[in-house]
């Protein structure tokens, strides 16, 4: 029990440090970002939640309960955009990607990381930090994707919903992109109404009229 308490204290310290880093930000040129097309991904029917999420919720029930503000929309401001950049960078820098097999001898285990973890763990920590900072849980959706190219494989990212569309926080890049700017095929994600309900993405996705010149 002492080991568990110490781990929880370390995690609480990590969360506090992450929020402090998010507050120590300088203004980014956000207007060009906010001017990008507003477009929401098409999702379809409910699908089975990943086994890692189910196991995580057994061990961390408080992290999996729908929030009172679950479906509240976020009005994206330059300040909130900067907070996303800071939290994304903080976690990406803090947590060294390490496979579940190397850490736990298990092919799939989702958990909140301290300094090592895989893509799902990194997403969970970003979700926790942003929720602590006041983002509604329904705007922070764990998302499974498939990568294209020679390194094709499954991956997890965090979708952040706002009135300006859906942004992707990814441990593979410090850049924040709208979902339609990434090179992923989207598979499933949490419902904005309930984190324990997962929905599949539609096979046909909307496209913006044009992608801006900076992409």
pLDDT values of the chain reduced to their tens digit, one per residue, 215 residues: 555 566 666 666 666 655 555 444 434 457 778 888 899 999 999 999 999 999 999 999 999 998 777 667 799 999 999 999 999 999 999 999 999 999 999 889 999 999 999 999 999 999 999 999 999 999 999 999 998 776 678 999 999 999 999 999 999 999 999 999 999 999 999 999 999 999 999 989 998 876 544 44
Domains delineated in the chain: 2-201 (3.10.620)
Output the pLDDT for position 60.
96
- Write the pLDDT tens digit of every residue in 118-169: 999 999 999 999 999 999 999 999 999 998 776 678 999 999 999 999 999 9
The pLDDT, as a whole number, for residue 152 is 74
The pLDDT of residue 26 is 39
Considering the entire predicted model, what is its pTM? 0.84
Cα torsion 9, 12, 16, 22: sign: positive
Q: 53 with 83: CB under 8 angstroms?
A: no
pLDDT at 12: 64
Task: Quote the pLDDT of residue 214.
Answer: 46
Instruction: State how far the Cα of 7 lies from the Cα of 71, in Å rounded to an integer.
Output: 32
């Amino acid at each position: 029990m002492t080991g568990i308490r110490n781990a929880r204290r370390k995690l609480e310290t990590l969360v506090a440090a992450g929020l402090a880093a998010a507050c120590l930000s300088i203004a980014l040129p956000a207007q060009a970002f906010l001017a990008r097309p507003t477009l929401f991904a098409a999702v379809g029917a409910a699908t089975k939640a990943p086994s890692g999420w189910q196991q995580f919720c057994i061990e961390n029930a408080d992290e999996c309960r729908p929030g009172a503000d679950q479906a509240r929309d976020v009005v994206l401001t330059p300040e909130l955009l900067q907070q996303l950049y800071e939290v994304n960078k903080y976690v990406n820098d803090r947590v060294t990607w390490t496979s579940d097999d190397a850490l736990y001898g298990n092919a799939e285990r989702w958990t909140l990381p301290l300094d090592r973890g895989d893509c799902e763990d990194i997403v969970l920590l970003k979700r926790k930090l942003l929720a602590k900072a006041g983002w509604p849980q329904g705007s922070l959706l764990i998302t499974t994707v498939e990568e294209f190219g020679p390194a094709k494989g499954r991956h997890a990212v965090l979708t952040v919903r706002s009135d300006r569309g859906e942004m992707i926080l990814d441990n593979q890049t410090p850049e924040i992109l709208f979902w339609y700017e990434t090179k992923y095929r989207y598979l499933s994600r949490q419902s904005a109404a309930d984190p324990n309900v997962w929905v599949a993405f539609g096979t046909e996705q909307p496209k913006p009229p044009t992608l801006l010149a900076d992409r």
